[in-house]
């Protein structure tokens, strides 16, 4: 009996020594200046590959599909997309506010399209996605139109500039393009276009967040999400102390030089620790009211079938453990 007990003890010790390592937390992103501090954190060796694995997708559509299919555990997405995840039963939890738009989303039109009302029966190009649908609805509303008044043309960003310059409809002519920075500045560069709208005109509606699936929160050790958040704040601190160096590190992934990347950052506001507390923590976090307000608009425009659960969506526990 004694030998059996000793064997059992040795087996327990062996299993402890050969514990299966934690799976890395897979975090999806798309090309966007507001999520680049995550990659800066990786460059600064703050994300060990065995703990955090950043996964790059071409656009928000691919990113959203990967999250819905369980390919990734977390995603840096517009709040509007996070509400769609929740409506589909994906159980996203907002653990961090990344940024808010100060004009990063824009509508660029031909010179002859003088106002939002003038978009009636005009061809508006965009790359697709829930955020674009939401923005189209808000633009139509501000122009006294309905979305059915706009003729949508789905075009990837690389084809939009040519379509805006084209003179013949059969060759892909469009009257306006709905896009985001830094593409906005590129479309304005030819001088034959102007900006009809920027998201700064809709404050607090265009926010990007980091969501983690509830299943991942349950199955991954808490330190992984905490590591992800600590890396974000460390990258912001590095950017504040060494702005040029940070821009030079982050710009190439977006195909920009450091100067143009800094210009793109001027159209968004990266959320610091103080704003995290305001928006995600406390008895009445500001993000809760934002979720409810944006959810109402999405319901009206049939982008949601029921109101979002603003309380369940916010998961501030990892943030509370990270912030002093």
Dihedral over Cα of 152, 155, 156, 160: its sign: negative
93 & 215 share domain: yes
Range scoring the smallest mean pLDDT among 3-12, 56-65, 78-87, 128-137: 3-12
pLDDT value for 192: 78
Residue 9: inside a domain: no
94 & 218 share domain: yes
177 & 243 share domain: no
Residue 63: inside a domain: yes
214 & 314 share domain: yes
Last residue of a domain, one of 173, 201, 229: 201
Digit-coded pLDDT (tens) for 108-120: 999 999 999 999 9
196 & 219 share domain: no
pLDDT value for 118: 96
Digit-coded pLDDT (tens) for 259-268: 989 988 888 9
Average pLDDT, the chain: 89
pLDDT value for 60: 86
Dist CA 160 CA 155 (whole Å): 6
Residue 20 predicted with pLDDT over 60: no
Give the total number of structural domains in the chain: 2
Q: What average pLDDT does the segment 11-37 reach?
A: 74
Last residue of a domain, one of 183, 201, 219: 201
Residue 2: inside a domain: no
DSSP β-bridge partners for residue 198: 106
Dihedral over Cα of 93, 23, 56, 251: its sign: positive
83 & 113 share domain: no
C-alpha angle with apex 77: 201 to 116, nearest 5 degrees? 30
Residue 18 predicted with pLDDT over 50: no
Dist CA 139 CA 141 (whole Å): 5
Q: What average pLDDT does the segment 303-315 reach?
A: 96
Q: Are 101 and 267 in contact (CB under 8 A)?
A: yes
CATH number of the domain enclosing 62? 3.40.190.10
Q: What average pLDDT does the segment 31-40 reach?
A: 95
Query: Side-chain half-sphere of 54: how many Cα atoms within 13 Å?
Result: 23
Dist CA 212 CA 146 (whole Å): 34
Which of the four pLDDT bands, split at 50, 70 and 90, describes residue 171? Answer: low
Whole domain around residue 45: which residue ranges? 22-101+206-322
Residue 8: inside a domain: no
């Amino acid at each position: 009996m004694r030998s059996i007990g000793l064997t059992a003890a040795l087996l327990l010790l062996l299993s402890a020594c050969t514990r299966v390592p934690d799976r890395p937390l897979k975090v999806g992103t798309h090309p966007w200046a507001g999520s680049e501090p995550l990659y800066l954190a990786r460059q600064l060796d703050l994300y060990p590959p065995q703990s955090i694995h950043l996964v790059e997708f071409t656009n928000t559509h691919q990113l959203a599909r990967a999250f819905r299919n369980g390919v990734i555990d977390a995603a840096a997405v517009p709040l509007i997309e996070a509400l769609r995840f929740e409506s589909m039963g994906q159980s996203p939890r907002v653990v961090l506010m990344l940024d808010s738009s100060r004009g990063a989303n824009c509508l660029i039109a031909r010179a002859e399209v003088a106002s939002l009302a003038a978009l009636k029966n005009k061809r508006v190009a965009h790359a697709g996605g829930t955020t674009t649908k939401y923005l189209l609805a808000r633009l139509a509303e501000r122009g006294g139109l309905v979305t059915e008044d706009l003729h949508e043309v789905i075009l990837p960003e690389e084809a939009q500039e040519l379509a805006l310059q084209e003179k013949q409809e059969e060759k892909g002519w469009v009257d306006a393009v709905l896009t985001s920075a830094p593409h906005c500045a590129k479309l304005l560069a030819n001088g034959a276009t102007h900006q009809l709208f920027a998201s700064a005109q809709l404050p607090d509606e265009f926010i990007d967040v980091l969501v983690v699936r509830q299943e991942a929160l349950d199955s991954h050790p808490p330190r992984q999400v905490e590591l992800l958040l600590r890396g974000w704040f460390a990258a912001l601190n590095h950017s504040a102390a060494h702005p040029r160096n940070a821009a030079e590190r982050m710009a190439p992934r977006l195909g920009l030089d450091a100067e143009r990347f800094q210009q793109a950052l001027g159209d968004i506001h990266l959320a610091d620790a103080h704003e995290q507390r305001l928006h995600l923590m406390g008895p009445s976090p500001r993000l809760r009211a934002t979720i409810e307000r944006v959810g109402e608009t999405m319901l009206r425009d049939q982008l949601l079938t029921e109101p979002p659960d603003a309380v369940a969506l916010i998961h501030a526990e990892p943030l509370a453990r990270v912030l002093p």
